[in-house]
Amino acid sequence: MKINTGDIASVIKKEIENYAAELTTSEIGTVVEVGDGIARIYGLRNVMANEMIEFENGILGLAFNLEEESVGAIILGDFLEIKEGFRVKRLNRVLEVPVGPALVGRVVDPLGRPLDNKGEIKTVRARPVEFKAPGISKRQPVRVPLQTGIKSIDSMTPIGRGQRELIIGDRGTGKTAIAIDTIINQKGTGVICVYVAIGQKASTVSQVVNTLEKNGAMGHTIVVMATASDPAPLLYIAPYAGTAMAEYFMYEEKKDTLCVYDDLTKQANAYRQLSLLLRRPPGREAFPGDVFYLHSRLLERAAKLSDSMGGGSLTSLPIIETQEGEVSAYIPTNVISITDGQIYLVPELFFAGVRPAVDVGISVSRVGGHAQIKAMKTVAGSLRLDLASFRELEAFAQLGTELDKATQRQLDRGRRMVELLKQPQYRPMSEEDQVLALFAGVNGFLDDVPVERVHEFETRLLESVKAFNKDILDDIKGMRKISDPEKLITVIKKFKEGF
């Protein structure tokens, strides 16, 4: 067999020419201590704060505390699988999560991994979990309403696109129900919703997902889930991850988005746990000194972007759980001072059957009428004050004193308005239906209707107007104002005669 040495020489020569000596270096550290979601690492001298690190078994971590002799890291996975002596390497990038349309309709963990058994999520884009909030010049005032579909909120504490409205109250007062109703009401509006479940039972979150699916809302929703059984680091990063997923649609696709954080009390507790384990000095209620910054840098990312930035928006609905109605506790006061208003729910109203159990006196929206259509502004103008004074009169009337006719009339109307503002769960109303119902109440058409028949009156009135005077509702929807109040009064009077 004859060997052609010329061919062999040319192949070797080509290989030598194409050879590029690539030397990759990575900084390696060693785990010296591990436990409860944190690890102390020796080595990694040049690691940066919030940089991703990888343990030798593939579990990811985040550089959290940079100290002289060691690095305190939080473990984004099962810390029981990590042992002392494990090698750790830097990944030279900050924590990122996958983003994009492929996530819509899915249930994921805070790292973007699917939890719904619907297969792999194919995305090509990623966004950093921590992202700088847009500055003043990149924002515009909040003026476009974000309808919740709940009469008592859309009329008295309206929410605008780009606003941060806190939902606050004791456990079991219907905080999540308001958030879920708002997500359901975004169906068909083009708003992308992100529901972040922090520290809840997995069964509770699956019920929420089932409710959203049943009401056709999963088609525009991403559910980010960090349950009570997950390690504290995942609970800590979950709201930031959910916000990054929403920001993709705000910045890249110029869409309106809604983020619900349910709830931030549990995130603060997880952050306190990590901070104490890493020997950060405790402050009030053992929380670290930067617990305010924990929530402010999250909620400041909510914005209505300027037209030059595309005009997208991110609306935040953080939820905070109070203990025995203690609104002046540390975390509640922190978040109240960051947000643009709060919807305060009270157990007394909830157990009395007033649902949603919104306390009119303490609930407020700092955007106010700017986030309402003109028709709603017209009918709801004095509603808040009327209801607040009704609550005071009701307390006074319980003393058994004799009341004059004007006071009695005010009490009677107040009771009917409270009944009118009650609303079943998962049944959000369109803005024109809300305006029509409230118009009837504010203009005294319910004053002689028995309290127990108020809902029947409302339902039948809406059915009647939809059947015989649909142009009125179309006018409110299109013009966003009541262009002919006299005609509306005549229609309601005629309906009432036959009621």
- Cβ-based neighbours of 181, under 8 Å, separated by 6 or more: 148, 149, 150, 425, 426, 427, 428
The percent of the chain in helix, strand and coil, each rounded to the nearest 5, is 45, 20, 35
Contact 179, 167 (CB under 8 A): yes
At 181, give phi and psi (nearest 5°).
-60, -40
Count of Cβ atoms closer than 10 Å to residue 447 Cβ: 11
366 tagged catalytic: yes
Q: Pick the catalytic residue: 139, 366, 453, 460?
A: 366
Angle at 279 between CA 277 and CA 284, to 5 degrees: 95
Q: How far apart are alpha carbons 492 and 418 in whole angstroms? A: 20
Element housing 73 (H / E): strand 71-75
CA distances from 325 to 320, 333, 344 (A): 11, 12, 9
Q: How far apart are alpha carbons 358 and 79 in whole angstroms? A: 42
Contact 312, 256 (CB under 8 A): yes
* Residues forming the active site: 366
